[in-house]
Structure 1
Amino acid sequence: MKHLAALLLLATTALAAEPLHRLKLETPQDLQALLHYSGEPLPLVSAHRGGPAKDYPENCIATFEHTLAHTFSMLEIDPRRTKDGAIVVHHDATLERTTTGTGKVVDATLAELKQLRLKDTEGHATEHQLPTLDEVIEWARGKTVLVLDQKDVTAVERAEIVTRLKAEAYVMLIVSSFKEVVAVHRVNPNITMEVMIPTLAKAEEFDGLGVPWKNVVAFVGHVPPEDKALYDYIHGKGACTMIGTSRNLDRKVIQGEVKDIKLLEPEYRAFLNRGADIIETDIPVPLGTMLYGSAAVPKGKAGLFEKR
């Protein structure tokens, strides 16, 4: 525990003086209240891989701090298993793109992986190490919502980790099938899930599973559906919808096709006006600042948002 505390202190010292946009979630019911559809705009983005940028590697605690210093954000992260059974946070199955190492994550021990350094979006090595999933979950308590993608750790295994760490109030799971949704809910009915529900037919199918809508954020797609009935149906169940812009609008900014994100503001807002409540993005800092920098927190949820 002393080793873990030291790592967390080191990772957060650089930004300690900068206030964070925190989500104050103490119980699973707080998370459900945050994500309950109220009809009011929700000033919250979901940072894909935590929101990497120059000097800030993906899936890195320092990067998470950087994102939260600028905007309220959920953090989508990627658990992967090591050779000796530990679970680290790293997107790719291999190490070359984002670390100073080579080979597969699963072929290295945790001790070996901790010797590596993470690379930023420009491929430059930084001082930062791969964090373990336990380290990230401990860091996130009282700060934000973590969204755990699947990779090579199954939905049920992730549910068991959340349960073991008593993190249901602020850790969600991305679950890829309705069968897994049911399995996770059986393991722990307090766990919230992000579930792909891209059509009205799928929404109606989900409704028959017996899993409460309060446990779900509906991811409707990377190409946001135009079917108003889909959004209305999900909202009518009290759930929020999420869309992804990492594969479309964000790329125009990242690749330099558009120099100023403000030029794309009408297109991002069009997705919100269509019925999306949360945008998953590769550029949470500029996007969250642009969309929500002066936005008011919904009155009914004001106690869940804090900047300090």
Structure 2
Amino acid sequence: MRIICIAVFILSVSWAGTFAQSHKINLKTTSDLHRFFKYDPEKPVIITGHRGGMVTGFPENSIATFENTLNHTPAFFEIDPRLTKDSVIVLMHDATLDRTTTGKGKLSDYTYKELKDIRLKDAEGNITAYSIPTLSEVIEWARGKTILNLDHKDVPLAMTAKLIRKHKAEAFVMLTVHSPKEARYYLDQNKASMFSAFVKNKNDFDEYQKEGIPFTQMIAYIGPTVKPENKELYHLLNARGTMCMISSASSYDKLKYVQERKKHYHAIAADGASILESDYPIEAAEALKELKK
């Protein structure tokens, strides 16, 4: 019995060590959030999981996927809030259920109760045990663990701002904005709001500057590829403390082979991007570790 107890204790410690390895980004205040994303040339490239990431057995926009990614690398997550028929905010990239779930038709035709028996599929179409999460559930899960970047789908800006206030989540929830006007709306609700802003050229930069959107409260999405025009944006934005993000989700992540993708992840870092968004955040993080070595 004594030997069994010792064995159980050792196994428990081993399990505890495994779970303790999960990476966390624990921010307490909006000032912490702003500092986390302040540009510094000495900072390593930050990884963000596009819809959480895409790994066999783990569906996009699900807590299980976020947890799996954090078990391998520090990361924050771009996610997609949408409205059900009864105005519950859930996570779903598409307007329809067909691609990513066992359901059919428009998400907005279902009440949240009707969605509960529907199961999520992974990127290969395999049915998983996971159900569609609400944004409220994901926000409470993320507290003390990571940062959420909310894309703008069909949820009214006012409803999004209200939910963030309700959960007191301003320190770890940021907002994708496609224009300075969207950013201005959120700033009028909360002057400390943090943004992932579309700034894909000099004209976009000028528009954000003209609207008075603080560059210290944004990261800038500059596009999906490495190209010569990026250099001007790095110069303008980095000088104001703004990190620049390239998303490989619609470009290099589509390449068939790991080695091909790795080469482009290296190129993104070498180009000068501070943040790399990917459908394969675990793979991208490993590639950048190799580059550092």
TM-score (norm 1): 0.85
The equivalences for 1:200-211 within 5 A come to 200-211=202-213
Instruction: Give per-residue Cα distances to partners, 1:147-182, cap 9 Å, x unaligned.
Output: 111111133432222122111111111111111111
With over 3 angstroms needed to count, the CA separation of the structure-2 counterparts of 1:122 and 1:103, relative to structure 1, is same
**CA distance in structure 2 between the partners assigned to 1:294 and 1:271 by the alignment:** 11
The equivalences for 1:34-183 within 5 A come to 34-183=36-185
3-state DSSP of counterpart to 1:232: helix
With over 3 angstroms needed to count, the CA separation of the structure-2 counterparts of 1:29 and 1:147, relative to structure 1, is same
Q: Which amino acid aligns with 1:89?
A: L
Q: Which amino acid aligns with 1:235?
A: N
1:267 aligned to 264, 268, 283, which one?
Answer: 264
**CA distance in structure 2 between the partners assigned to 1:217 and 1:117 by the alignment:** 34
Aligned residue for 1:212? 214
Conserved in 2, the CA contact under 8 Å of 1:43 and 1:292? no
Q: Is there any run of 5+ residues in structure 2 with no aligned partner, and where?
A: 1-16
C-alpha displacement at 1:225, in angstroms? 4.2
C-alpha displacement at 1:217, in angstroms? 0.6
Q: Is there any run of 5+ residues in structure 1 with no aligned partner, and where?
A: 1-14, 297-308
Conserved in 2, the CA contact under 8 Å of 1:70 and 1:289? no
Conserved in 1, the CA contact under 8 Å of 2:253 and 2:261? no
Shifted more, 149-158 versus 49-58: the winner is: 149-158
3-state DSSP of counterpart to 2:24: strand
- Percentage of matched positions with identical amino acids: 40
3-state DSSP of counterpart to 2:216: helix
C-alpha displacement at 1:100, in angstroms? 1.0
Conserved in 2, the CA contact under 8 Å of 1:21 and 1:69? yes
* Alignment: residue pair count: 277
Conserved in 1, the CA contact under 8 Å of 2:79 and 2:151? yes
**CA distance in structure 1 between the partners assigned to 2:69 and 2:289 by the alignment:** 14
Instruction: Give per-residue Cα distances to partners, 1:48-105, cap 9 Å, x unaligned.
Output: 1110211000111001000111111111111010111111111111111111111211
**CA distance in structure 1 between the partners assigned to 2:288 and 2:156 by the alignment:** 34
Alignment of 1:292 with 2:284, yes or no, is no
**CA distance in structure 2 between the partners assigned to 1:127 and 1:35 by the alignment:** 35
Instruction: Give per-residue Cα distances to partners, 1:237-256, cap 9 Å, x unaligned.
Output: 0110001111221111xxx3
TM-score (norm 2): 0.89
Q: Which amino acid aligns with 1:292?
A: K
Alignment of 1:190 with 2:192, yes or no, is yes
Conserved in 2, the CA contact under 8 Å of 1:198 and 1:225? no
**CA distance in structure 2 between the partners assigned to 1:133 and 1:265 by the alignment:** 32
Larger Rg: 2
Q: Which amino acid aligns with 2:239?
A: G
C-alpha displacement at 1:264, in angstroms? 4.1
With over 3 angstroms needed to count, the CA separation of the structure-2 counterparts of 1:266 and 1:124, relative to structure 1, is closer
C-alpha displacement at 1:220, in angstroms? 0.4
Aligned residue for 2:274? 277
Alignment of 1:230 with 2:233, yes or no, is yes
Alignment of 1:241 with 2:244, yes or no, is yes
